[in-house]
Amino acid sequence: MADDDFATQVRLAEALIFASDTPIPPRALTQALPDGADLDAVMAALQNIYTDRGVILVQAAGGWQFQTAADLAPQLKRVIKIPRRLPRVAMETLAIIAYHQPVTRAEVEEIRGATLSQTTLDALLDTDMITPKGRRETPGRPTLWGTTPDFLTHFGLNDLRDLPRREDLLVEPPTIPAAPADET
């Protein structure tokens, strides 16, 4: 009986997460499971089932979601139409916003030593990965920018703390690896 209950709980969690295309927060899972269910145990069991599969269970932006396994990317890209990657400038701007948030546009420009083009700003806003986060209380009250949960989801991060520490970023050898080849 008890085993049956547990199996049903795992199936419920599986169905709920599988149905969604965005991460499901633990709160929603707790609500869906019967009172007194052990969410950690359920998720551990579920994760165990999805080891080595074509679809895997990951944590992103503080929630759970299924996504295709990364090693299948090359084969999937042949079939699935994918959007273009963000250009380098946009990626740099995004990195600066992620590390310095909340940050004003002027500060981003100062760090990059170059002005931010409308194209880049539009491209970033279009991805839903950045959003206004209030104003700085200084003269002119400039808008502050920060990243969204979509930013975390997009890069498979559970939390902003999953970003590498700044001091760890520069220890790599100075020869910059080429950006992953983009097959399209």
Partner 1 sequence: MAEAPASAHPAPQVPANDTPLAEGLLLRLDGFEGPLDLLLDLARGQKVDLARISILDLVDQYLAVIEGAKRVRLELAADWLVMAAWLAWLKSRLLLPKGLEAADEAEIAAEILAARLRDLQTMRAAALWLTARPQRGIDVFPRGAPETFAETETFGISADLGSLMRAYMAALRRGTRHRTYRPARTTLWTVKDALARLAVLVGTLPDWSDFIHFLPDWVVNPLERRAAVASTLIAGLEMAKSGTVRLRQDDAFGPILLRRLAFGPDGLDNDPQDTGTQDTGAQDTGAQDTGAQDTGPNQDDTHGR
Show contacts with partner 1 in window 28-57 (CB under 8 A): none
Token output for 4: 């049956």
Nearer to partner 1, 36 or 177 (CB): 177
3-state helix, strand, coil in the chain (%, to 5): 50, 15, 40
Burial class from Cβ neighbours inside 10 Å (0-12, 13-18, 19+) for residue 133 reads middle
Select the binding partner of residue 37 from partner 1, a second copy, none (C-beta < 5 to 8 A, by kind): none
Residues 112-171 that bind a second copy (CB under 8 A): 115-118, 121, 132, 134-135, 140-143, 161-165, 168-171
Nearer to partner 1, 30 or 112 (CB): 112
Select the binding partner of residue 32 from partner 1, a second copy, none (C-beta < 5 to 8 A, by kind): a second copy
Residue with tokens 């760890």: 168
| Residues belonging to the chain | 184
Burial class from Cβ neighbours inside 10 Å (0-12, 13-18, 19+) for residue 13 reads buried
| Binding track, positions 55-94, relative to a second copy; x by CB under 8 A | x----------x-xx--x--xx-xxx--------------
To a second copy, the closest distance from the beta carbon of 17 in angstroms equals 9
